[in-house]
Structure 1
Amino acid sequence: RQHRWLQAMIFAIEEINQNANLLPNITLGYGIYDTCFLVSTGLEGSMWLITGKEDPVPNYRCTSQSPLAAIIGDATSGTSIPMARLLGLYRYPQISYYAGVDKLSDRHQFPSFFRTVPRGKIQARSIARLLVHFGWTWVGILAEETEYGDLSTQSLREELLNTNVCIGFSEFVPTIYSAIKVNYIIDLINKSSVNAIVIICYETYILPVMQEVIRQNITGKSWLASASSSTSGKIFKNHLLVGTIGLATHKANIPGFHDFLLNLHPFTSQHNMYLETFWEEVFGYKWPNTNTYQSTPTNELGKESKLCTGTESLKELDISYFDASESRVAYNVYNAVYAAAHALHDLYMCKPGEGPFGNGTCANIHDFEPWQLLHYAKNVNFKNKLGEEIYFDDEGNSLPVFDVINWHQTPEGNFEYVDVGRLDFRLPPGRELIFNNSALMWNGGQTQIPLSVCSESCLPGFRKAVRQGEPICCFDCIRCSEGKISNQTDSSDCLECPDDHWSNDRRDMCVPKSIEFLSYTENLGIILASTSILFSFIPAAILCTFIRYRETPIVKANNRELSYVLLLALVLCFLCCLIFIGQPVMVTCMLRQTTFGIIFAFSISCVLAKTIMVVIAFTATKPNSSLKKWVGPKVSNTIVIVRTLVQIIICVTWLASSPPFPEENMKPDPGKIIIECNEGSTVAFWCMLGYMGLLASVSFIVAFIARNLPDSFNEAKLITFSMLVFVSVWLSFIPAYLSTKGKYMVAVEIFAILASSTGLLLCIFFPKCYIILLRPDINTREFLMGKGTFSNKN
């Protein structure tokens, strides 16, 4: 590769020398010095080029030849940085074709440095962009142990801070081979859960590591190589590395370069270094005049190797070296040489009096100072033969463009890279990546992008919970709590649903909350409503029976008017349950408890009146009793009206001060909207129930006291049982009512109303109906007075 870079420079210089429009009548020359990737050698070569002597004398130019114009190089940032510091002191233009470290953009430290490769920050941004594109959030970094590797790693870390990509490990690859360090890196790769590894390393340094990866058959890893090694055929020549993604400098097909390479020959190409060595390398022969063979006996030469004759033809070879269409770094070298030539041309074409220096002076092309050429280098702007514009920005950087390559294995078993995309940061943000996913080939022939994550993605309905002490890419997936959702993959938090919505079972969508109230359309509402209506017919039927048999002793004996009124009240008691069913509105909320309270107070007042009348009637039969004047309907009517009026006053006060109202209650069940009646004043509610309980208790006590009266007045026993049932029902109602919520709380109250009403009906009226309908033989005055007899005969 490096030899082809050298040929690109020579080709560009020869092409410029043949161009009559560029530097006319001026011939460019060149000197070549190999840095061997060593800083000391690079500095030594720079001083040799500056001073013109192999034993350099600092601050002296010991040559009478034409001045040194510029230095093209070096390739690696590790050697370019110290070279740029040195050359910057003398203001010699230095144009690198491969050094991408971002630090070299600092004009204060490196005032004379230029490059035809994108700066390190662009490369770091490109790597980060690719990691995000492939969804690789858990990556490792292998960087060369140089200033370039260190600074490039720092730049990449800074770029990854703006993404969700985490670094699982970061290690430096030694520039001088160390088996211990290489084995440590291999062991780290094997043990790490990272499946995507970024290589920021020159091919010479990373090669031992990749050879060990191949030797140990490490699979399941995806590699992303930086521009310094991505196109290296020495590294990516094994099926384990197929699918490697790489950043590569922009490629071009340099016109005429292919023919130039094919015409290279040690006998005809003058002043072209390394051609003999290159010839031996590509043909596998040896020149007879090399040192190796000078000491080797002639009879043994044929046994070891064939000899080069010079008649070999490069056109017979099929190697990538001659593929000018794949020129990448060589294209950068070509542009760097032309940039220096155009700077010289601008200096050469300066007109006296119009020059950029003092008093409009110009520089002499045959004797100029480096700082004078530096002025022109900063303003270089031209189009090359391919029509691409070449220029340097204020920091000496070139176009921010990278090609994206992918290493494939051909059907013949060869390994080659193909272009699959481009990163052009001249385009608007978000559109800089142009990618062809269908052209990708992954290791093992897979078409699906390999995964490299510390934790599997959290599906919608879950949120990420970072593990303590680990990077943010390592997390657990926790299901969103009720009422919260996450509708995206890898949500960091769950969103709370609006008040009138709730999360579905998958916790990935907010759905309207179900509205709950005791409805006529549901089974429970239908049963309670039907029961209420059906049961209301029973007291109505009994009333009709009492009216029909109103002249019989059993009806007349127990204050039939109060019985009529009580039966009507019981009809209303059953029917008032209907107000509790259906969606609560303002009217029904105000009528529910008040209607129920007044009707039941009225019913119990009737029972109390009947009980008191039984006691008065029995006592009035005694001689000289003063209660005879109280026997009559006035007393019973007064008791009923006064007792009921007290309940009416309580209810009216309740409605006037703090009436019940409908409300949407979400506290008992957050997933539902329970539409219920807020009682307004809970004090008034319990006062209403308490007064009703007081009436029932008084009726029970009075009836209990009167339970042993003669048989003709046995209604006191019936009332005692009815009040016992009534009080038991409502005492049980209180804990049941307080422990339920929503529609079931309403159902409990309806059940209590039905049970207590049924208890009154059964205990007070069913025995009388039994006598009226089934035992008319005992429905006589004599029997009721305890003087008659009856028979069980039919």
Structure 2
Amino acid sequence: MVVLQVMLILLQIPLADLHTHVVKCPIREPLPTPQRYYKRGNFMIGASMSQVILFLDDEYSFHEYPISDSGSPIIVTKNYQHVLALVFAVNEINGNPKLLPNVSLGFHILESYFSAKRNYYTAIELLCTFGHFVPNFECEIHSNLIAVIGGLGAEASCHLAALLDIYKLPQFSYGDFAPTLNDQASSLIIYRMVPDEAHQYNGIVLLLLHFRWTWIGLVTMDDGNGDVFLKNLLPVFLQRAICPAFIGRVSTIHSFTDYFSVQNSWQETYSTIMGSKASVVVVHGETQAIMCLRGLLYQGESSDKASYSKVWIMAAQMDISAVNTHKGWTIQSFHGALAFTVHSQEVPRFQTFLQNLRPHDAQGDGFIQPFWEQAFGCSLANDEGSCTGEERLESLPGPFFEMSMTGHSYSIYNAVHAIANTLHAMRASTSWVKLHRGRLEHQTLRPWQLHPFLRSMMFNNSAGETVFLNKNGEFSVGFDITNLVTFPNTSFVRIKVGKMDPWARPGKEFEVDEDAITWPTYFNQVMPLSLCNDHCCPGYQKKKKEGEPFCCYDCVPCPEGKISDQPDVDSCSPCHQDQYPNTKQDKCTSKAVTFLSYTEPLGISSVAFAFFFALITVGVLGTFVKHHNTPIVKANNRNLSYMLLVSILLCFLCTLLFVGQPEKMMCLLRQMAFGVVFSVAVSCVLAKTVIVVLAFMATKPGGRIRKWVGKRLTNSIIVVCSLIQVGLCSVWLTTSPPFPDADMRSHMKEVVLECNEGSVAMFYCVLGYMGFLALVSFTVAFLARNLPGSFNEAKFITFSMLVFCSVWLSFVPTYLSTKGKYMVAVEIFSILASSAGLLGCIFFPKCYIIILRPEVNKKEMVIRR
């Protein structure tokens, strides 16, 4: 609105008089310039396009076209296809009697010289009748401007929309990707034929992640668009673990004086790009950006081949092949580059239209002469080295002109057809027909009346694609991912290797065909790596380097017990409990299931010793039974001896419960049987000791102590002491009984099946109670060791209890220090050793006398002794 006020002041038009006046305007031809293409029609389509690059002074007026004083301008010959796409689309529509019968489309295409500010003038001239430059007035012969296509770039689109929006003219932008315009959608009426740049950011990130490129160079222009690009992309990079190796800012030039001032900064940028070990460089900008980058690479190509060691990823704003402003330059540096390009399709008959194009047939085309002379290196004037006019466009190298329709041209083609289909829909609507003097006539169409139809517009173009605009006014099409393959003769081909379509169904938004990609020759057709350092192999994990970005790291082996089966893991992970790491620590191996079985040497030896000692115990018991009437058997209370021998026999046999695969019943019986049987055995020993002591104390006939000597006392001691242990075992079974378990932690490579004791406290209570009985027996026996030997068993009981206590005192630390099946083996050994100690210390001397010294085993000898 500020711009409008300034213009009204300059033109001396009061703001209050801002309305359309129909006057007879004085005819004044527009400023002379070859850079325009005009064709009259019932409805006119305006266009702002850029083909000529001029280095202008910072201040210039609109009194004459700047090209008149600019010397030899730079012609971006590829952009001439944009003009031809619009002309072809208009001709195609005018030749279709079904689309707009009895109505013709015209166009007025103006050159904007790649200058965003120039679009202010372009907008005013489009709004005026051709040849009548009177802003804000509608002449008797008016322009019938119905829509405008342009401009190339976000800033150019904004400048153009600032004036077109006043008149509510539909504007179709074919090169504006900037996401900032979404916030202005309510005020600026722009229909965008290309997707929002935010979708491109996502596509770039997905492409980098697909190839696992995390160390990336960024090159953008040193302007506002570059700032927006970095502001939006860098946070996404950090979220997806991608690091910028460097950020190069290329200064733009607007005048010849700028060229000399930016030489040093260009050289620094080139050194930064080529000095980095990042193999992938993302480049963002518009046409001038790619031309500046091409200039940078050309400076270093003669002495440095580093430019061939980069994979260039180009944003869709950049026409990657629009770089041959100098015929001596090649585009070999961009061989293998990947580019996001606006989606395009081959339009039928378009190449034929290009092949038939001749400069002398293009009436009113002010773009063709500079294009033709620049592209073919000749002159259309009648002098030496003149063009014949019969040169063919298909003979031009790709960097100068492409015969295939580019993405920008396809957008312009669709924009023209969108306008035509909208006009067709409006004319077919009954609301635009009125009764005048008994006849139905169409009302006069105004540009702002197209907007309701455009928002719901949908049609099929001649390429077979459905074209429609979404709710944000965007053409709902994604990006093509193209691979640039160059040849020594400066020609090239674009190969579509993927796509980025944010509107596709889930899972199909991003696709890329790796096998179809041609990589730069430096990499010898092997997918390049772009990392701060080499990948960490499986079996290793990342370790951050101090002072470096997170993409730079060292690789260290996984800690013991952990693995990494993928490269570049942040931290190693432990294996499942039933698995263990292999030697390389890159995968998990299933643990072997083990337990103390009957088939392994340790189990076989345990069973063998158990049966061996059991047979000895049976032999001793048989000997005692056979010689039950001998004095030595009678002197030591043969009933207690029988009971003790049976208890010892059961102790040996209970070790069999500890061998074999643990089961529920086995686990319940194992410790209970051991605890109760051993308590009975130790109780028998205690009863023997007490009887020996009482026997020597009851020397007086009829004394009180003599009454205690007998079966009643021994049975009481055995029953009471045993019942206490039975009570402890009952509490254990009731509260937290033992159960089968698998020990997966004790051994790295084995899963040990075992019996979990349930309550460890109860286990040690049972064991402690046995130790208490043994300690009491040892104490009593030790005190009675000096009584007369013929009747005294106390010495043997003392030794047996000493062995018993020694075994079980050493059992506790040994048991706690072992793992798995070896814990079971320690307990078996302790049971066998303590039982053998009781058997040997108490009964071996008696058996020796019974078997080898029978002459001593007589009443007379016992009494004598």
- Does the 8 A contact of 2:536 with 2:542 survive in 1? yes
Alpha-carbon offset, residue 351 of structure 1: 7.7
Is 1:242 the counterpart of 2:321 in the alignment? no
Change (3 A) 1:628 1:21: closer
- Does the 8 A contact of 1:75 with 1:99 survive in 2? yes
- Does the 8 A contact of 1:610 with 1:636 survive in 2? no
CA distance, structure 1, for counterparts of residue 510 and residue 665 of structure 2: 67
Trace 1:231-270 onto structure 2 (pairs within 5 A). 231-232=320-321, 234=323, 237-270=330-363
Change (3 A) 1:330 1:166: same
Alpha-carbon offset, residue 88 of structure 1: 0.9
CA distance, structure 1, for counterparts of residue 112 and residue 142 of structure 2: 24
Is 1:733 the counterpart of 2:845 in the alignment? no
Aligned match for 1:653, one of 727, 742, 756: 727
Aligned to 1:644: 718
- Does the 8 A contact of 1:261 with 1:322 survive in 2? no
Change (3 A) 1:283 1:37: closer
Alpha-carbon offset, residue 135 of structure 1: 3.9
Trace 1:523-542 onto structure 2 (pairs within 5 A). 523-542=601-620
Alpha-carbon offset, residue 534 of structure 1: 0.9
- Does the 8 A contact of 1:71 with 1:92 survive in 2? yes
Residue type of the alignment partner of 2:845: P
Trace 1:202-217 onto structure 2 (pairs within 5 A). 202-213=286-297, 215=300, 216=304, 217=306
Deviation readout 1:376-416 (Å, 9 max, x if unpaired): 66565554444444444444322414332111245878532
CA distance, structure 1, for counterparts of residue 460 and residue 758 of structure 2: 87
- Does the 8 A contact of 1:74 with 1:96 survive in 2? yes
Change (3 A) 1:213 1:644: farther
Residue type of the alignment partner of 1:645: V
Alpha-carbon offset, residue 574 of structure 1: 1.8
Residue type of the alignment partner of 1:205: A
Trace 1:231-630 onto structure 2 (pairs within 5 A). 231-232=320-321, 234=323, 237-286=330-379, 307-308=385-386, 310=388, 313-314=391-392, 317-320=395-398, 324-341=403-420, 354=433, 363-364=443-444, 370-372=447-449, 381-410=458-487, 414-433=491-510, 435-444=512-521, 446-452=524-530, 502-505=578-581, 518-549=596-627, 555=633, 558-560=636-638, 562-582=640-660, 588=666, 591-611=669-689, 625-626=699-700
Change (3 A) 1:780 1:632: farther
Change (3 A) 1:419 1:571: closer
Alpha-carbon offset, residue 417 of structure 1: 1.8
Q: What is the root-mean-square deviation of aligned Cα atoms in Å?
A: 4.8
Residue type of the alignment partner of 1:648: S
Deviation readout 1:624-645 (Å, 9 max, x if unpaired): x516989999835334312111
- Does the 8 A contact of 1:572 with 1:599 survive in 2? yes
Q: TM-score, structure 1 length as denominator? A: 0.79
Is 1:201 the counterpart of 2:278 in the alignment? no
Is 1:39 the counterpart of 2:116 in the alignment? yes
- Does the 8 A contact of 2:147 with 2:171 survive in 1? yes
Is 1:720 the counterpart of 2:813 in the alignment? no
Q: What is the count of residue pairs matched by the alignment?
A: 759
Please give the secondary structure, in 2, of the residue aligned with 1:197. strand
Change (3 A) 1:464 1:89: farther
CA distance, structure 1, for counterparts of residue 212 and residue 591 of structure 2: 37
Alpha-carbon offset, residue 201 of structure 1: 1.6
Change (3 A) 1:2 1:592: closer
- Does the 8 A contact of 1:117 with 1:332 survive in 2? yes
Residue type of the alignment partner of 1:42: N
Please give the secondary structure, in 2, of the residue aligned with 1:33. strand
CA distance, structure 2, for counterparts of residue 566 and residue 374 of structure 1: 110
Change (3 A) 1:641 1:324: same
Change (3 A) 1:550 1:207: same
CA distance, structure 2, for counterparts of residue 283 and residue 679 of structure 1: 95
Deviation readout 1:510-568 (Å, 9 max, x if unpaired): 99887776544544333222211211111222233344455666556555554444333
CA distance, structure 2, for counterparts of residue 316 and residue 722 of structure 1: 112
Deviation readout 1:541-599 (Å, 9 max, x if unpaired): 22333444556665565555544443333222322323444455665555444544444
Deviation readout 1:344-396 (Å, 9 max, x if unpaired): 6667788896269xxx99554xxx75435666665655544444444444443
- Does the 8 A contact of 1:597 with 1:647 survive in 2? no
Trace 1:72-221 onto structure 2 (pairs within 5 A). 72-105=149-182, 108=185, 110-151=187-228, 172-176=249-253, 178-190=262-274, 194-213=278-297, 215=300, 216=304, 217-218=306-307, 220-221=309-310
Gaps of 5+ in 1: 291-305, 788-794
Change (3 A) 1:315 1:45: closer
Deviation readout 1:69-94 (Å, 9 max, x if unpaired): 43332122221111112211222332
CA distance, structure 2, for counterparts of residue 689 and residue 409 of structure 1: 87
CA distance, structure 1, for counterparts of residue 695 and residue 389 of structure 2: 150
Change (3 A) 1:732 1:28: closer
Aligned to 1:663: 739
CA distance, structure 2, for counterparts of residue 759 and residue 230 of structure 1: 97
Aligned to 1:300: none
CA distance, structure 1, for counterparts of residue 647 and residue 403 of structure 2: 109
CA distance, structure 2, for counterparts of residue 599 and residue 449 of structure 1: 75
Alpha-carbon offset, residue 719 of structure 1: 3.1
Deviation readout 1:43-78 (Å, 9 max, x if unpaired): 222223334699976545678553444333212222
Alpha-carbon offset, residue 756 of structure 1: 1.9
Which stretch has the larger CA shift, 635-644 or 172-181?
172-181
Deviation readout 1:712-761 (Å, 9 max, x if unpaired): 45744333322322232233334444555654444333322222221222
Deviation readout 1:432-490 (Å, 9 max, x if unpaired): 44544332211236555434456777888888899999888677889999999988777
- Does the 8 A contact of 1:74 with 1:99 survive in 2? yes
Please give the secondary structure, in 2, of the residue aligned with 1:416. strand
Which stretch has the larger CA shift, 430-439 or 85-94?
430-439
- Does the 8 A contact of 2:680 with 2:722 survive in 1? no
Please give the secondary structure, in 1, of the residue aligned with 2:404. helix
Aligned to 2:53: none
Q: TM-score, structure 2 length as denominator? A: 0.73
Alpha-carbon offset, residue 232 of structure 1: 1.3
Change (3 A) 1:312 1:247: same
Aligned to 1:748: 826
Change (3 A) 1:56 1:534: farther
Change (3 A) 1:637 1:416: same
CA distance, structure 1, for counterparts of residue 727 and residue 709 of structure 2: 27
Please give the secondary structure, in 1, of the residue aligned with 2:482. strand
CA distance, structure 2, for counterparts of residue 308 and residue 188 of structure 1: 44
CA distance, structure 1, for counterparts of residue 467 and residue 798 of structure 2: 112
Please give the secondary structure, in 2, of the residue aligned with 1:661. coil
Residue type of the alignment partner of 2:84: Q
Change (3 A) 1:532 1:112: same
